[in-house]
Amino acid sequence: MKRLLPLLTLMALLATVGANAQEKKPDWRKLHYLSEEEMNTPVKGINFTETDPPTGELRFVAEFEPMQAVMIVYPLGIPVSLVAEMSKDCKVITIVESYQQSQAQNTFQNAGVNMSNCLFLNAPTNSYWVRDFGPWYIFNDLNPAIVDNVYNRPRPHDDEIPGYFSTYWNIPMYGMKLIHTGGNMMQDGRGHGVSDDLVLRENAEELGFDETVVRNKMRDYLGIDPYHITIDPQGDYIAHVDCWGKYLAPDKILIARLPESNPQYSKYEEVANYFATTNCCWGYPYKVYRVEEPGGNTLAPYTNSLILNKTVYVPLGSNNTYNQQAIAIYQEAMPGYEIVGVNSGNPGWHNTDALHCRTRGVMDFEMLFVDHRNVIHGEQEWQDSIAVTSKFIAYSKQALKQDSLLVYYSIDGGAYQTTRMTATANPNEYVGYIKGYQGNSEINYYVFGADQSGHRYTQPVFADLDPHHFTMKAHTPSGELVITPDTLWFTQMGQEKELVIKNETMTSVSINDIQLESQYFLQLSGEIPSFPVMLPSGTNLKLKVWFQNAPGKGDYVSSEILIATSLGQKKAIAMLKKSAMDFGLQIVGAPVLQFDEPGEQQTAIQNRNFGTGTPIEITSITVENPAILVVEPEHPLPYTLAGSAYFRLTMSPNVDGKAYVHTQVTIHSDAGDLTYEVSINEDLLSINETEVDTRIYPNPTSGIFKVKGRNMATLSVYNLVGQKVCEKHGDTDLIIDASNWDKGVYLVDLYYTDGHRQTRKLVVQ
């Protein structure tokens, strides 16, 4: 794949060199631009063998994602003290010629480098700018790979380094015939990339490629689309994006700012305004952070930093005031990260060449990627629950931890709650629902995942320190349109479940349509109404739903039932537990228990080692939320369960509230863990026996209704605007005439002699 490179067009560069001819001749190795020897190297043509592009799903990993190592070159272009710092965090791979390796090792040992984290790759180099010539790491589906490009410097040893690393890691390398350099490329890990227009000029001048060809190659080999190609605001010889800008997160970008008196000021502002008015991958404009630079000859290389896992190494300049301001900007933009200022040392920083140029991270080949693309932001139309959908990509190829795929959310500044995510019908995709907010609520959230290899990740990476944020639109409830249950659990194909839509508002509601997320797998059955259906106050619509097939792999098949109404969209979830193999410890019947009325339920597990009869030891049982569910095993634990035998559990809910709550019961054994999902309808349950015994009938009513119960002290009835329409005191049987009341929903407050209180709904027709 490697080749001889041409001399680049250097007229502008030669003019710059000529204008400074009287200055001291620079050390060519320490500058990015070409040496006199390189400038006089005859053009030999580009002998680059382009391969076919990779054919899988491509992802060009961002610098702020998990890194297993960092690459550097010896002799060093960075202080050895920085090598020592980086070796605390991850592996340090030093590219060094074999005859210099002992010298490098001695240098590192004397400086306190963690030698157990040091690796060496023996290869010759022409310079230490590994950012520019080093390999570009990608994922092709779940597999790591390298993309090689035409390096825009005639430095043959540097140009061979990607091939060395392809052999070092034993991963494929794809040849992309495009003149490029690492310092002029930054990417967000979600398909967005940024370069300045040097990439267009060089490829037009040397290869005859127009902009369309450039963009197509970036898409086909790296998965970069959109590709943001900006002006070069710096206007210096190097034209590299890392000299003036940096991705800090998929929605955050750092742009340098110069004094207004600087001739380049307007160019920097033009670029900053471009990103401030351009949407990031999550659908809203970039959050642009500005780092002040004094301009002129004052050293201030602040955007040329290195993000290495949870640490940011920032090269410091020659003005301490600007240094402190730069550190503060990084701390503001990247909460939870350690921001480390790095003095230049030997050989020193330049405004156009500092720490980032001389290092390059190596992505963690087994990382877990949380890919929540449809980020919820801004003001949302009212809905009683909102779906958070995310893919979880385990590059380790290990299974995901199904109980560790979570949405963390906070409502109006309250404590963070969690909701478990469940599989959809799409590969690697899971969904969880945020509930419990009110109109005008401010909601913060982030997504968390973990896999069996021990990898874990959040989106955003800052988690609760800087989460995703949205506002729910104002909502004035006038009763409710209640969907019961909110989750339908199926245990086998062809099983039929009932979904009830109750109109508990004071007016008629139109049910305009019902859409099933996957028409092929989830079906309506029985009498299917012709929509729209007008649902009067106090009435309900009953529907039959069934699964006819379940594709793919995984523990569950999930499908949404979307109900379009005159009050906005409502939804319910249909979940199908796939059948298990007939061995080991298995749940008998439904893996989901749903409590819709008071009382206990008994369920069982079975040792299905029918053939071998191998016993299984049940070691313990854990309840995710023991405050709302009590579980009593039929035998003390640990307990040895013989082959074919059953082990029963008695479960009792203990809640007092409204709507559904969910918890899990996990049975631990030497054959693995089994988990019950438990759904409790709080609206139908109570912890007080007297409340359970109280009846209001008929309900709905058109006139006379009765309240029958024990130990009632006071009964008060309110309409939905809070006006009291009736009050009765102390009796076991009450008869109330509502014939003169307005039609609609009323709230019946019941106070008992033991101090308990209960609120029931009453519909007057």
Last residue of a domain, one of 317, 341, 363: 363
Average pLDDT value for residue range 126-133: 94
Place of tokens 């709550």: 661
Does residue 551 belong to any structural domain of this protein? no
H helix runs in 198-264, sequence order: 198-207, 211-222
Whole-angstrom distance, CA of residue 98 vs CA of residue 90: 23
Model pLDDT, residue 755: 67
Residue 686's pLDDT is 38
- Asked whether residue 574 is domain-assigned, the answer is no
Asked if residue 218 belongs to a domain, the reply is yes
Which pairs with CB-CB distance under 8 Å and at least 24 residues apart come from 694-699? 694/750, 694/758, 694/760, 696/748, 696/760, 696/762, 699/761, 699/762, 699/763
Greater model confidence, 642 or 557: 642
Are 226 and 334 found together in one domain? Answer: yes
In whole angstroms, what is the distance from residue 71 CA to residue 93 CA?
5
Same domain, 442 and 457: yes
Q: Is the domain of 330 the same as that of 376? A: no
- Total structural domains within the chain: 4
The model's pLDDT over 650-682, given as tens digits with 9 standing for 90+, comes to 888 876 554 567 788 999 998 888 888 887 765
- 492 lies in a domain? no
What is the pLDDT, as a whole number, of residue 684? 47
Of 472, 493, 515, which residue constitutes the final position of a domain? 472
Please compute, for residue 149, the number of CA atoms within 13 A of its CA located in the half-sphere on the CB side.
26
* Res. 611 pLDDT band, cuts 50 70 90: low
Active site residue 281: no
Q: Spell out the residues 6+ positions from residue 471 whose beta carbon is closer than 8 angstroms to its own.
A: 378, 379, 380, 440, 441, 442, 443
Tokens matching residue 470 = 């949205």
CA distance 586 to 671: 10
| Cα–Cα separations (whole angstroms), residue 484 to 416, 423, 481, 628, 682 | 26, 21, 10, 20, 12
pLDDT of residue 40: 59
693: confidence class by pLDDT, cuts 50, 70, 90: low
535 CB-side CA count, 13 A: 28
User: Are residues 198 and 220 located together in one domain of the fold?
Assistant: yes
- For residue 12, what is the DSSP state? H
CA distance 668 to 674: 7
Q: Which residues form the domain of 725?
A: 689-764
The edge-to-edge listing of strands for the beta sheet with 429-435 is 368-371, 385-394, 429-435, 422-423
What is the Cα–Cα distance from 746 to 362, expressed in whole angstroms? 64
The confidence band for 741, taking pLDDT boundaries of 50, 70 and 90, is confident
As a whole number, the mean pLDDT across the chain is: 84
Residue 510 in contact with residue 533, Cβ under 8 Å?
A: yes
Closest CA to 256 of 129, 358, 351, 361: 351
Specify the pLDDT at position 301: 95
**Angle between helical axes of 198-207 and 211-222 (0-180°, round to 10):** 110
pTM of the model: 0.67
H-helix or E-strand spanning residue 733:
strand 733-737
Q: What's the token pair of residue 508?
A: 């008629």
Q: Which residue has the higher pLDDT, 51 or 739?
A: 51
What pLDDT sits at residue 8?
A: 32
Is 547 part of any domain? Answer: no
Residues 696 and 638 in one domain: no
Q: What is the pLDDT of residue 223?
A: 97
User: CATH code at 122?
Assistant: 3.75.10.10
Tokens of 131: 């950012």
Q: Which of 303, 330, 363 marks a domain boundary?
A: 363
Specify whether 161 is located in the same domain as 192: yes
The pLDDT of residue 597: 67
pLDDT at 24 over 50: no
- Of all residues in the chain, the percent with pLDDT exceeding 70 is 85
Specify the 3-state DSSP secondary structure of 21: coil
Indicate whether 645 and 713 sit together in one domain. no
Residues 359 and 345 in one domain: yes
Domain check: are 119 and 53 in the same one?
Answer: yes
Q: Do 696 and 736 meet the contact criterion of CB atoms below 8 Å apart?
A: no
pLDDT in tens, 397-414: 999 998 899 999 999 999
Both tokens of residue 93?
């791979």
Ramachandran sector of residue 45 (left: φ over 0; alpha: ψ -120 to 50; beta: rest): left
CA distances from 706 to 81, 386, 734, 762 (A): 83, 39, 6, 11
Q: How many other CB atoms are found less than 10 A from the CB of residue 593?
A: 21
The answer on 723 and 650 residing in a single domain is no
Task: List CB contacts of 441: < 8 A, sequence separation 6 or more.
Answer: 411, 412, 471, 472
Residue with tokens 């060093």: 76
- For residue 275, being part of any structural domain is answered with yes
Q: Which residues of 329-345 are buried (b: 16+ CB within 10 A; e: fewer)?
A: bbeebbeebebbbbebe
Given this model, what pLDDT does residue 655 score? 65
What's the rounded Cα separation, in Å, for the pair 764 and 746?
8
Contact between 705 and 748 (Cβ < 8 Å) = no
Give, for 85, the enclosing helix (H) or strand (E).
helix 80-86
| Strand ranges (E), 478-597 | 481-484, 487-490, 496-503, 509-516, 522-525, 533-535, 540-547, 556-565, 568-577, 585-587, 592-595
Predicted confidence (pLDDT) per residue in 262-285, tens digit: 999 999 999 999 999 999 999 999
pLDDT digits (tens, 9 = 90+) for 515-559: 877 655 667 777 778 888 888 888 888 888 876 655 544 456 677
Same domain, 730 and 620: no
End-to-end CA distance of the chain: 81
pLDDT at position 643: 82
> How far apart, in whole angstroms, are the C-alpha atoms of residue 331 and residue 465?
12
Query: 616 with 629, same domain?
Result: yes
C-alpha span between 542 and 571 (Å, rounded): 15
Is 513 within the bounds of a domain? no
Answer whether residue 483 is part of any domain: no
What is the pLDDT, as a whole number, of residue 469? Answer: 98
Strand-pair partners of 589: none
107: left (phi over 0), alpha (psi -120 to 50) or beta: alpha
| pLDDT higher than threshold 80 for residue 228 | yes
User: Residue 416's pLDDT is what?
Assistant: 93
pLDDT at 22: 36
Q: In the prediction, which pLDDT does 590 show? A: 64
Domain at 658, CATH number: 2.60.40.10
